Chains A and B, each alone.
Chain A
Amino acid sequence: MEAGFAVLIGFIFAASIYLMLSRQLIRILLGISILGNAVNLLIFTAGRLEREVPPVIPDSSLVPVGATANPLPQALILTAIVISFSFFAFLLVLAFRTYQELGTDDANEMRVAEPKGEARPPMGY
Chain B
Amino acid sequence: MAVSEHTADVSHAMITTPVATADWLVVSPIIITILGGVICLMMRKQTKIQPRIAIATLGLLMLSNFGLLARVMDKGVITMVMGQWLPPYGIAFTVDATGAMLALIASIVAFATALYGVGDSDAASRRYGFYPFLMLLMTGVSGTFLTGDIFNLYVWFEVLLISSFGLLILGSDKAQLDGAVKYGILNLIATTLFLIATGYLYGLVGTLNMADIPRSVAALPNHAPITTVAMLYLLAFAMKAAAFPVNFWLPASYHTPRIAVAGVFAGLLTKVGIYALMRTMVMLLPVHHALLAHVLAVVAVATMISGALGAMAQSDLRRALGYLVISSIGSMLAGIAVSTALSLTGTILYAIHSIIVMTGLYFVTGMAGRMSGTFALRELGGLYGKSPLLALAFIILAMSFSGLPPTSGFWAKVLLVDASLKSDWPWLAGSILVAGFLTTIALARIGLYAFWRGGPEGTPDGTAFAYAENADMTAPDVTAAYTGMWLALGLLVGLSLFIGLAPDGLVAIAKTGAAGLVDPSGYIGSVFGGTGGHP
Contact between B313 and A121 (Cβ–Cβ < 8 Å)? yes
B343 within 8 A of A: no
CB proximity to B under 8 Å, residues A92-107: 94-95, 97-98, 101-102
Contact between B6 and A94 (Cβ–Cβ < 8 Å)? no
If A97-B172, A114-B252, A122-B457 touch, whether A90 touches B162 (CB-CB below 8 Å) is yes
B332 within 8 A of A: no
Contact between A59 and B177 (Cβ–Cβ < 8 Å)? no
The winner among B4, B151, B256, B313 for most chain A CB atoms within 10 A is B151
A42 within 8 A of B: yes
A98 and chain B: residue at smallest CB distance: B177
A32 within 8 A of B: yes
CA distance A76 to B378 in the complex (A): 52
Question: Contacting A110 at CB < 8 Å: which of B178, B189, B195, B376?
Answer: B178
What number of residue pairs across chains A and B have CB atoms under 8 A from each other? 115
CB proximity to B under 8 Å, residues A21-76: 25, 28-29, 32, 35-36, 39, 42-43, 45-48, 59, 62, 72-73, 76
Report B-chain residues with C-beta under 8 Å of the C-beta of A102. Answer: 174, 177-178
If A95-B181, A113-B253 touch, whether A43 touches B189 (CB-CB below 8 Å) is no
B483 within 8 A of A: no
CA distance A98 to B448 in the complex (A): 37
B312 and chain A: residue at smallest CB distance: A121
Contact between B184 and A90 (Cβ–Cβ < 8 Å)? yes
Contact between A98 and B378 (Cβ–Cβ < 8 Å)? no
Report B-chain residues with C-beta under 8 Å of the C-beta of A46. Answer: 199-200, 202-203
B192 within 8 A of A: yes
Contact between B189 and A20 (Cβ–Cβ < 8 Å)? yes
A119 within 8 A of B: yes
B175 within 8 A of A: yes
Contact between B192 and A91 (Cβ–Cβ < 8 Å)? no
B180 within 8 A of A: yes
CA distance A115 to B261 in the complex (A): 22
Shortest CB-to-CB span from B382 to chain A, Å, is 14
Shortest CB-to-CB span from B153 to chain A, Å, is 12
**Secondary structure of the A contact surface, majority rule:** helix
CB proximity to A under 8 Å, residues B182-215: 182, 184-185, 188-189, 192, 195-196, 198-200, 202-203
Report B-chain residues with C-beta under 8 Å of the C-beta of A91. Answer: 184-185, 188
Contact between B315 and A119 (Cβ–Cβ < 8 Å)? yes
If A121-B314, A122-B315 touch, whether A73 touches B377 (CB-CB below 8 Å) is no
The winner among A47, A86, A113 for most chain B CB atoms within 10 A is A113
Contact between A62 and B8 (Cβ–Cβ < 8 Å)? yes
B258 within 8 A of A: no
Question: Contacting B181 at CB < 8 Å: which of A25, A36, A118?
Answer: A25
Shortest CB-to-CB span from B325 to chain A, Å, is 16
Shortest CB-to-CB span from A92 to chain B, Å, is 11
B335 within 8 A of A: no
CA distance A42 to B6 in the complex (A): 38
Contact between B192 and A39 (Cβ–Cβ < 8 Å)? yes
Report B-chain residues with C-beta under 8 Å of the C-beta of A73. Answer: 202
Contact between B448 and A125 (Cβ–Cβ < 8 Å)? yes
A8 within 8 A of B: no
Mark each residue of chain B from 248 to 273: 1 if its CB lies under 8 Å from any CB of chain A, else 0.
00011101100000000000000000
Residues of chain B at interface, number, CB under 8 A: 50
B507 within 8 A of A: no
Shortest CB-to-CB span from A110 to chain B, Å, is 5
Shortest CB-to-CB span from A55 to chain B, Å, is 13
Question: Contacting A113 at CB < 8 Å: which of B203, B256, B445?
Answer: B256
Contact between B315 and A59 (Cβ–Cβ < 8 Å)? no
B360 within 8 A of A: no
B523 within 8 A of A: no
A80 and chain B: residue at smallest CB distance: B195
Contact between B252 and A119 (Cβ–Cβ < 8 Å)? no
Contact between A113 and B252 (Cβ–Cβ < 8 Å)? yes
If A39-B196, A102-B174, A120-B315 touch, whether A76 touches B151 (CB-CB below 8 Å) is yes
A95 and chain B: residue at smallest CB distance: B181
Question: Contacting B169 at CB < 8 Å: which of A72, A83, A94, A121?
Answer: A94
A57 and chain B: residue at smallest CB distance: B8
A86 and chain B: residue at smallest CB distance: B162
CA distance A42 to B228 in the complex (A): 15
A87 within 8 A of B: yes
Report B-chain residues with C-beta under 8 Å of the C-beta of A62. Answer: 8
Report B-chain residues with C-beta under 8 Å of the C-beta of A1. Answer: none
Report A-chain residues with C-beta under 8 Å of the C-beta of B255. Answer: 113
Shortest CB-to-CB span from A65 to chain B, Å, is 16
Contact between B172 and A122 (Cβ–Cβ < 8 Å)? no
Q: List 15 interface pairs A-B (beta carbons < 8 Å), by A numbering.
A: A32-B185, A32-B192, A39-B192, A73-B202, A76-B202, A79-B155, A80-B195, A83-B155, A83-B158, A87-B184, A94-B177, A97-B172, A112-B174, A113-B175, A122-B377
7 A-B pairs besides A79-B151, A83-B155, A114-B251 with CB distance below 8 A are A42-B196, A46-B202, A79-B155, A87-B161, A90-B184, A120-B315, A121-B377
- Using a CB–CB cutoff of 8 Å, the interface residues on chain A facing chain B are 20, 25, 28-29, 32, 35-36, 39, 42-43, 45-48, 59, 62, 72-73, 76, 79-80, 83-84, 86-87, 90-91, 94-95, 97-98, 101-102, 110-114, 118-122, 125
Q: Which 10 A-B pairs have the closest CB atoms?
A: A46-B203, A43-B199, A121-B315, A112-B178, A113-B178, A113-B179, A98-B177, A113-B175, A112-B174, A83-B158
